[in-house]
Amino acid sequence: KRSPQSSLVTNTPVAMVHADETTHILLVPYPAQGHLNPILQFGKRLAGHGGVRCTVAATRFVVGSTKPSPGSVHVAVFSDGCDAGGPAELGGHKGPYFERLEAAGSEALDELLRSEAASGRPVRVVVYDTFMPWVAPLARRYGAACAAVLTQTCAVDIMYTHARAGRMPVPVSEGDSPLELPGLSSRLGAADVPTFLTDSDAHHPSLRDLLMNQFAGLDAVDHVFVNSFFD
Question: pLDDT tens digits, residue range 94-146?
Answer: 778 888 999 999 999 999 999 999 999 999 999 999 999 999 999 999 999 99
Considering the candidates 24, 35, 93, 223, report the single residue annotated as catalytic: 35
Considering the candidates 24, 80, 93, 129, report the single residue annotated as catalytic: 129
Mean of all residue pLDDT scores within the chain:
83
Between these two residues, 225 and 211, which has the higher pLDDT value? 225
Q: Is the pLDDT of residue 9 over 70?
A: no
- Point out which residues pair with 150 in neighbouring strands: 226
Closest CA to 133 of 42, 215, 227: 215
Residue 197's SS3 state is: helix
Between these two residues, 144 and 202, which has the higher pLDDT value? 144
Q: Is the pLDDT of residue 32 over 70?
A: yes
Are the C-beta atoms of residues 97 and 90 closer than 8 Å to each other?
A: yes
Are the C-beta atoms of residues 126 and 112 closer than 8 Å to each other?
A: no
pLDDT band per the 50, 70, 90 thresholds, residue 42: very high
Q: Is the pLDDT of residue 72 over 80?
A: yes
Q: According to the model, what pLDDT value does residue 170 have? A: 86
Residue 129 catalytic?
yes
Q: Is the pLDDT of residue 13 over 80?
A: no
Q: What percent of the chain lies above the pLDDT cut of 90? A: 41
Q: Is the pLDDT of residue 4 over 70?
A: no
Are the C-beta atoms of residues 70 and 29 closer than 8 Å to each other?
A: no
Are the C-beta atoms of residues 73 and 44 closer than 8 Å to each other?
A: yes
Domains of the chain from N-terminus onward: 4-153+216-229 (3.40.50.2000)
pTM to 2 decimal places: 0.82
Which tens digit of pLDDT belongs to each residue from 146-197?
999 998 888 899 999 999 888 988 888 888 878 999 988 888 888 898 888 8
Residue 176 catalytic?
no
Q: According to the model, what pLDDT value does residue 140 have? A: 94
Q: According to the model, what pLDDT value does residue 88 have? A: 84
